[in-house]
């Protein structure tokens, strides 16, 4: 059975670990600690094999104040760290890789400046880049999920594929941080169009949801999931997640 890779998510705002409603800070956020590095170490101690980090300060205001935090996380955990949040040029992507980030997530840039997106893929390699597809009401949204593109998810995914993307994070924004169940059908649609590797983001509310995604993962083309709020609010034992994964039961 295909095993899911689980990305604990660390969202950083004002130097603190937060969870943001639907990934849109204006809708509200809740703090989960003053030290994102300690949070990363916690997930590593729980045997996480990778971490997903979002920098809301850079995404929203192009404030580089969290760069040292990002670097410290990469140095502390010695596992792959995936970064998302406002990457808007090849230079920024390279800077993050030089800080120790394993893979960068590209969202709005791919829509507004496809040539720069292609440049990043060619410079870093397709394996170092993830294309983010954020969807609200079956429309791709960009600019911190505030602007509709008029594009269907499949149409946008096909464009990204033609530009060289091979890995995608697919987020149903309406479910992000809501713990009301994952939208696996959306991920399946992207997988079918691209033939690429899909990370499901949004909606995981507990262990049952995770088991469900695991059960359909091969058929639906999902190889990994990002989990945030459900982990922080102890909706399942995180040790149990990775122990089962490593034993081959899960």
- Indicate which residues carry an active-site annotation: 11, 134
For 202, the token pair is: 């949004």
Reading phi first (left if > 0) and then psi (alpha if -120 to 50, else beta), residue 142 is in: beta
- Residue 195 Cα to chain centre, angstroms: 19
CA-based nearest residue to 85, from 13, 29, 174, 168: 13
Q: How far is CA 75 from CA 46, 53, 99, 116, in A?
A: 17, 14, 9, 28
Number of residues assigned to the chain: 250
Cα dihedral sign, 43-45-46-50: positive
For 23-96, strand residue ranges (E) read: 29-31, 51-55, 81-84
| Contact in structure between 231 and 32 (CB atoms under 8 Å) | no
């Amino acid at each position: 059975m295909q095993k899911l890779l689980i990305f604990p998510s660390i969202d950083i705002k004002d130097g603190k670990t937060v969870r943001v409603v639907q990934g849109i800070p204006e809708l509200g956020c809740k703090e989960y600690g003053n030290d994102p590095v300690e949070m990363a170490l916690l997930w590593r101690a729980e045997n996480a094999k990778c971490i997903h980090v979002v920098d809301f300060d850079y995404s929203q205001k192009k404030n580089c104040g969290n760069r040292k935090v990002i670097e410290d996380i990469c140095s502390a955990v010695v596992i792959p760290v995936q970064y998302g949040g406002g990457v808007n040029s090849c230079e920024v992507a390279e800077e993050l890789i030089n800080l120790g980030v394993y893979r960068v997530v590209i969202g709005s840039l791919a829509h507004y400046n496809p040539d720069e997106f292609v440049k990043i893929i060619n410079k870093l390699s397709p394996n170092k880049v993830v294309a983010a597809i954020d969807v609200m009401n079956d429309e791709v949204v960009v600019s911190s999920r505030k602007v509709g593109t008029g594009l269907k998810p499949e149409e946008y995914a096909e464009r990204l594929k033609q530009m060289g993307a091979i890995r995608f994070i697919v987020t149903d924004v309406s479910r992000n941080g809501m713990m009301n169940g994952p939208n696996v059908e959306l991920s399946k649609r992207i997988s079918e169009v691209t033939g690429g590797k899909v990370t499901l983001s949004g909606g995981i509310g507990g262990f049952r949801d995770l088991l469900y995604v695991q059960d359909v993962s091969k058929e639906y083309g999902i190889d990994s999931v990002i989990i945030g709020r459900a982990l922080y609010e102890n909706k399942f034992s995180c040790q149990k997640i990775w122990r089962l994964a490593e034993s081959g039961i899960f």
